[in-house]
Structure 1
């Protein structure tokens, strides 16, 4: 399908699919070549309408451009918007950028990972969450018995790594019962899954102090977590470095950072061990490649964040194949019963690893008629539960 003549973008649209606990925002970039279009994803929890409107606002900057000029187009979207776009704008650009890569791959008959520099591994290790896509299980499992049962269900599906979110809502001090409860939960989890399964603990930035984060880590470390994620709020590089220097286990962070510039201080100060860019939010695959290259020089691994939808997963798969310092990939395939009715993806899991795809582009196709059966709905506002007993609002 390769063409010596320019390809021109003729339109950009969004398709919102409500996946029960969150909305997927699919982005379709159309061209003047018959049958040549690309799919991307720009999902952002609780910001669906804002992101979709931003894509619409950006569309005029794309019309008439050759979709294969990805670096130039992303530069236009960032610079010609004038005001800094923030997470909403960066997410919109990420979805558009994914679709451009899809078009590029299709236009030359190659999978995107080939265009990113080729293959650096034979498979992509993945992990999932409690509940296998049920977000209530992810964020609301604080009972020891339920934790054990849900973890074993994940292992029974063939995964050898899983993530949990059971750090209590915290503030400037951590009480002894809360710390001990975290220790008991981790002990139950490790005894249930054994030492051959990796466990990641997501703090969600809940502790408001370095000391509080370290007190929880002290409870977790004896049970060898693969990493503790986002132990403090993003943006305070010095606090993160202090945790990393004192923690007796690997520390990871980065999902809420936008673009290379926000990651750069972490590399300069060697503020963590594992970086977690989200290709759905940080500006796209090209920006993710720049982040991974800098992380490698800073002796950091890359474990991309992705609790999003199927196209975001496909973009992550191609990215992971192409970067040498990849560690493990978060994934949410099969998050709803009708997943395979709406989308065909290149992700094929054997055990706890995705296999290498060979279809052109991202290898994704959307059944738009089936997708239309699941229109936008307001998402569950988990954040409303982040309130202490005295009414103090804390980080979710």
Structure 2
């Protein structure tokens, strides 16, 4: 069997474009899907897929690790976020092909499933862009959290902190305290609440000020409390607060995760399988995390193929904890899938039994939502003095 071509299919999802990667073979009808979505880098990633295809076409798709090494090493320059995202989409598609060719789900190729279902969490109102709620309106925000839980989720991730800087103004801290307490009172103790700081605080002490007022509601974790890449700062912060920390969506390499593990800097790691080298990269990161008694929670606010990949990975990964999803990101999320993998039962996804990733894309339906310039939410990330903030 040989790879004959690699194609990209771009589907608009309002504030990002999903980039689907289709790897074709010389076996009639046998192809694989991957996802290489990278926010606001659509054309660059699509071009990188084309660049990497020269290393892949003509290869046997069963030789997944060989092809990954070829893309990495023959590229000479470190691939970075754009190149690794392109590689990840191709790598995922190879697993899909192999599973289909052998007639088994991908989780079977990863050693078999280690759980019977996969717990998931979503964003406020499933991240629907037409129903954004300002966190400054505590009552409306709590209403939205309650509505999200009533959709069938037992865990919700929320943005609670404002754009910040090196300090944490007391009025902002007090508002976050009131908001956090109101949310916990509204949903009770049976719902897990997690919050994503998006690296907004510029200092450990600013992050600590916000975490200290959130910690009493016992969040499952605080994500990216400071900018990614500062493992020493995260380790320092983790010793200062009474709250689990998590990071990883903007980390790409095993070396970065090895540093987190060495310092025991966080409780949970969150690699994105569309950026960190696909399933192969995710498995390496999971092993590093497991050696340091860290759980793994794959990052995934993206499209249906990314969701299918994460589901297969979660089924076979012992230190997996919970999976991020965003099925409400665009109204046509389910429209372009020929398989329904994402039905909720008690806040969990079921383990798929179909060969490969268990998902097919309806290309005709997808073509109704072509590339379009994204709505970029970061454009209002301005501090009171006019300085650009981390968003």
TM-score by length of 1: 0.96
| Contact persistence 1:142–1:166 (CA under 8 A) | no
2:156 paired residue number: 162
SS at match of 1:27: strand
Note if 1:375 corresponds to 2:370: yes
Deviation of residue 87 (structure 1)? Answer: 0.4
| Contact persistence 2:270–2:296 (CA under 8 A) | yes
1:27 paired residue number: 21
Note if 1:185 corresponds to 2:210: no
Deviation of residue 246 (structure 1)? Answer: 1.3
| Contact persistence 2:120–2:347 (CA under 8 A) | yes
In the aligned structure 1, how far is the partner of 2:89 from the partner of 2:112?
22
Deviation of residue 166 (structure 1)? Answer: 2.0
In the aligned structure 2, how far is the partner of 1:308 from the partner of 1:140?
22
User: Match for 1:357 among 352, 360, 363?
Assistant: 352
Following superposition of structure 1 onto structure 2, how do residues 30-41 of structure 1 map, counting pairs within 5 Å? 30-41=24-35
| Contact persistence 1:179–1:219 (CA under 8 A) | yes
1:4 paired residue number: none
2:260 paired residue number: 266
In the aligned structure 1, how far is the partner of 2:342 from the partner of 2:241?
35
Deviation of residue 287 (structure 1)? Answer: 0.8
Following superposition of structure 1 onto structure 2, how do residues 60-99 of structure 1 map, counting pairs within 5 Å? 60-99=54-93
1:125 paired residue number: 119
User: Match for 1:173 among 154, 159, 167?
Assistant: 167
Following superposition of structure 1 onto structure 2, how do residues 237-248 of structure 1 map, counting pairs within 5 Å? 237-248=231-242
SS at match of 2:334: helix
In the aligned structure 1, how far is the partner of 2:232 from the partner of 2:355?
43
1:329 paired residue number: 323
| Contact persistence 1:41–1:311 (CA under 8 A) | yes
Deviation of residue 334 (structure 1)? Answer: 4.0
Q: 1:132 to 1:186 in 2, by over 3 A?
A: same
| Contact persistence 2:160–2:180 (CA under 8 A) | no
Deviation of residue 153 (structure 1)? Answer: 1.1
Matched length: 390
Deviation of residue 140 (structure 1)? Answer: 4.6
In the aligned structure 1, how far is the partner of 2:129 from the partner of 2:173?
24
| Contact persistence 1:139–1:166 (CA under 8 A) | no
In the aligned structure 1, how far is the partner of 2:186 from the partner of 2:388?
34
In the aligned structure 1, how far is the partner of 2:213 from the partner of 2:351?
38
Following superposition of structure 1 onto structure 2, how do residues 132-147 of structure 1 map, counting pairs within 5 Å? 132-135=126-129, 140-147=134-141
| Contact persistence 1:138–1:165 (CA under 8 A) | no
In the aligned structure 2, how far is the partner of 1:344 from the partner of 1:127?
23
Deviation of residue 154 (structure 1)? Answer: 0.8
Alignment RMSD, CA only?
Answer: 1.2
